[in-house]
Amino acid sequence: MRVLGIDPGLTRCGVGVVEGTAGRPLTMLGVGVVRTPSDAETGERLVAIEQGIESWLDEHRPELVAVERVFAQHNVRTVMGTAQASAIAMLCASRRGLPVALHTPSEVKAAVTGSGRADKAQVGAMVTRLLRLDAPPKPADAADALALAICHIWRAPAMNRLQQAQTAQQAQTAARASRVPTTASVRKVTR
């Protein structure tokens, strides 16, 4: 599985591509940051992010895009910029028919380090170790993007099994419902 991880942000949008399967060594295929000038208009910045992500999609051809789920912070301005960049990432992937997975920061930290409260340095150190890199990717947004891709590769098999179980349960419930006579049909038969 080849996953493009995206750590959304208006100024620095981390991107990283990881290939592999759960339980096997993973390979980093690319890592970087799409940058926009903080003094540019928001619309221009979003266009630049879109162009950057499209370039990564063209170059690396991922099977799936994993995006950090936006969470509430005290700084509304930061949350808005992050949400806008996140929407651009989801739009770019969806336009190409690529599935999009959202993971919270604590899910990513827990998957990569074993603790949902790990700091940026711990995430960077584990990404370096897991991908057998010489040094942690810089800036931290780039390491976070790789961590998102790793998280999804490792969590995907369990998420797929859960989705299949839910689908099977829904099918069973629907089948039972179609076999159970309704009150109106029972009255008709007994008259």
Distance CA 82, CA 10 (A): 6
Q: Could you give the angle at the alpha carbon of 113 between the alpha carbons of 109 and 117, nearest 5°?
A: 50
Question: By the 8 A CB rule, do 66 and 7 touch?
Answer: no
> Is 7 an annotated catalytic residue?
yes
Q: Which of 19, 50, 134, 141 is catalytic?
A: 141
> Is 141 an annotated catalytic residue?
yes
Neighbours of 1 (CB within 10 A): 16
Distance CA 82, CA 78 (A): 6
Q: Which of 39, 44, 59, 68 is catalytic?
A: 68
Question: By the 8 A CB rule, do 64 and 1 touch?
Answer: yes
By annotation, the residues acting in catalysis are 7, 68, 141
